[in-house]
Chain A
């Protein structure tokens, strides 16, 4: 039996919007969530801007008990909890009573565990005060901390997996959830990812000289994918969550269906053929995109929109070239393409899930969000695709099929194919 998988719930914590309604409004209107961070100037970072969700800590009181709230400090856990619980409720699913929800699982990733928690441990242990750490730090530094909080809150009883694949984490989590449902292992999967780029992670990326540094005085201009002046990415934080569901199950309970997840692929370039720890190998990327289309059962000509990885580095041109080769489409024949990172920066593991929420919203509401800061498109990219393929204003147009891809350190790739839900398949 060929099971179909649909998206029935969304949740998001994004630098340009907290919760789906605010996020939708922001991406429709090209609202930037990038801000100047004075502290980063004091720390002598080259990049002094970041995408930071306007997340008041008190919000958490709506998501966890008072006892859990006391002692909870992990930002990534907080973002993940909000996005995941919002998505679950948005789908109309109930929180478990005494018995766990055996048909519901979770794949939720991050690229680093709670660094701020680890710092507390370092400080206490080095001061000979390990005994004062208490009971709440292990659960917040373990890699599965986010899934532990989410599954505990909702009572999920199927597979609970914390995945990690650098910047492909979120996309990969969604694909893993899709596969579990397709295999008949679960009826519903809460999938996504969460990231908090604190000053330590930020500093490590800053040292690699791959972050934006020339727009510190104009934060909203700092994230410039596909532009001639793209000089590095802007780190962001946040979380995206989707509820994936077996179509039959969703229909039986009259769920609202946002979109269908037709399929996807996940692979690695093996750090061969030009691929490395930090650069994706073209053959791997091309194969990943082609395999995703085959897995989804769609032709490359069916694609209306690409939600790119497009971080605003030199790799943007290579990415476009890979899309052209994988799809055998270029010039005026290329699909529309956009990068959510122009508005919110690059939130590492959370990029894939936030961008997937964005992709699903563009299908649901039939629009293409603008690429902001693309006043000066990269000449090399213009040799590959026409200027109007990279819209700088919102385009209201029928969007049936969207490819969402992300590429991560370690030469890992993931690509998803979403489509408008059509009852006839």
Chain B
């Protein structure tokens, strides 16, 4: 799965956690989950749990702390699914 495909799928993972659907449609690797998408920081845990279920991976604490922007999320996910 390439980064572009992961980004498209990530939109669906993030969808329940942001009110800003317009911005979500146009996210890029630089988009910040909390600052731009206004996702409540406590909901980042839920994003991680949903991503784990979607890709059948396990995201450890250290990796999850890196998931701040769309780009860093893709880094972590692609790293795990290609393992």
Interface set of A (CB-CB < 8 Å, partner B): 65-67, 70-71, 131-132, 134-136
Q: Are B19 and A71 in contact (CB under 8 A)?
A: no
Q: Are B43 and A135 in contact (CB under 8 A)?
A: yes
> How far is the CB of B83 from the nearest CB of chain A, in Å?
19
CB-nearest residue of chain A to B18: A67
Q: Are A135 and B19 in contact (CB under 8 A)?
A: no
| Contact-residue size bin, chain B (C-beta under 8 Å from the other chain) | 10 to 19
Residue from A65, A131, A134 in contact with B19 in the complex, judged by beta carbons closer than 8 Å: A65
Q: In the complex, which residues 12-26 of chain B have their Cβ closer than 8 Å to any Cβ of chain A? A: 16-19
- CB pairs A–B below 8 angstroms (10 shown): A65-B19, A66-B16, A66-B19, A67-B16, A67-B17, A67-B40, A67-B43, A71-B16, A132-B49, A135-B46
B45 at the A/B interface (Cβ < 8 Å)? yes
Q: How far is the CA of A369 from the CA of B18 in the complex (A)?
A: 47
The 4 residue pairs across chains A and B that have the minimum distance between CB atoms: A70-B16, A135-B42, A134-B46, A135-B45
Contacts of A66 in B (CB 8 A): 16, 19
Q: Are B49 and A134 in contact (CB under 8 A)?
A: yes
> How far is the CB of A407 from the nearest CB of chain B, in Å?
40
Q: In the complex, which residues 33-56 of chain B have their Cβ closer than 8 Å to any Cβ of chain A? A: 40, 42-43, 45-46, 49, 52
Contacts of B42 in A (CB 8 A): 135
Contacts of A131 in B (CB 8 A): 49
A-side interface mostly: loop
> How far is the CB of A36 from the nearest CB of chain B, in Å?
36
Contacts of B45 in A (CB 8 A): 134-135
Q: How far is the CA of A131 from the CA of B49 in the complex (A)?
A: 8
Contacts of B49 in A (CB 8 A): 131-132, 134
Q: How far is the CA of A132 from the CA of B49 in the complex (A)?
A: 6
> How far is the CB of A71 from the nearest CB of chain B, in Å?
7
Q: Are B40 and A71 in contact (CB under 8 A)?
A: no
Contacts of B43 in A (CB 8 A): 67, 135
CB-nearest residue of chain B to A70: B16
> How far is the CB of B49 from the nearest CB of chain A, in Å?
5
CB-nearest residue of chain B to A132: B49
Q: Are B19 and A67 in contact (CB under 8 A)?
A: yes
Contacts of B17 in A (CB 8 A): 67, 70
Q: Are A136 and B46 in contact (CB under 8 A)?
A: yes
Q: How far is the CA of A388 from the CA of B69 in the complex (A)?
A: 72
Contacts of A136 in B (CB 8 A): 46
Contacts of A71 in B (CB 8 A): 16, 46
> How far is the CB of A374 from the nearest CB of chain B, in Å?
50
Q: How far is the CA of A132 from the CA of B51 in the complex (A)?
A: 11
Contacts of A67 in B (CB 8 A): 16-19, 40, 43
Contacts of A70 in B (CB 8 A): 16-17
